[in-house]
């Protein structure tokens, strides 16, 4: 006996396909659900940028970088395409707030796709330390806002170094 003799349909016949896509209800349902999701997300393609770059779905816009030393906290925010007059920096009850509005430069009605963000934003950054409100320094240059918040004497004295033992 040959192995080919065990194949259904024999040597000279083409094998029968047992999976009929049109008759399997689960496969049809699976295809319809996939098509539905494809249609929904395809409709967003022209209106929204990629999810990773969309500001409201990201951690927040503007993107910030926060660094800290024993004496100060430094917050750097990227706000490209904006001017100093469009940004407001507030410090209230241990929370630094960056507010502003980016306006569109043109009213191009024929624009089909844009990954640029326009509109109002507000970013709140809670501070873990007391800061000297009177000595806060905010500077704006080339689309980058830098805010330096000096820690109060009380906050600086609360930092304790702990020796590591081996």
Chain segment 62-121, per-residue pLDDT in tens:
889 999 988 999 999 998 888 899 999 999 988 999 999 887 776 667 766 767 777 888
In this structure, is residue 83 part of a structural domain? yes
Q: How many domains does the chain have?
A: 1
pLDDT at 37: 79
In this structure, is residue 14 part of a structural domain? no
CA–CA gap between residue 44 and residue 50 (Å, rounded): 10
Question: Measuring CA to CA, which residue among 65, 96, 71 is closest to residue 150?
Answer: 71
1-36 pLDDT per residue, tens: 565 665 555 555 554 444 555 577 888 888 888 888
In this structure, is residue 164 part of a structural domain? no
Kindly report the backbone phi and psi dihedral angles of residue 78, in degrees, each rounded to the nearest multiple of 5, phi listed first.
-90, 120
In this structure, is residue 38 part of a structural domain? no
In this structure, is residue 109 part of a structural domain? no
Which domain does 132 fall in, by range? 55-104+116-157
pTM over 0.85: no
CATH code at 153?
Answer: 2.60.40.790
In this structure, is residue 86 part of a structural domain? yes
């Amino acid at each position: 006996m040959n192995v080919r003799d065990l194949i259904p349909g024999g040597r000279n016949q083409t094998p029968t396909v047992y999976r009929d896509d049109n008759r399997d209800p689960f496969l049809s349902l699976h295809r319809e659900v996939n098509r539905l999701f494809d249609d929904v997300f395809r409709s967003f393609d022209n209106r929204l940028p990629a999810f990773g770059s969309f500001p409201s779905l990201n951690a927040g816009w503007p993107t910030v970088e926060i660094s800290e030393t024993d004496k100060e906290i430094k917050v750097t925010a990227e706000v490209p395409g904006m001017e100093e007059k469009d940004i407001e920096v507030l410090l209230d009850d241990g929370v630094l707030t960056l507010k502003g509005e980016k306006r569109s430069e043109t009213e191009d009605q024929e624009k089909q796709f844009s990954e640029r963000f326009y509109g109002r934003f507000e970013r709140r950054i809670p501070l873990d330390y007391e800061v000297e409100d009177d000595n806060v320094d905010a500077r704006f240059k080339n689309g980058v806002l830098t805010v330096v918040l000096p820690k109060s004497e009380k906050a600086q004295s609360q930092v304790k170094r702990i020796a590591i033992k081996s």
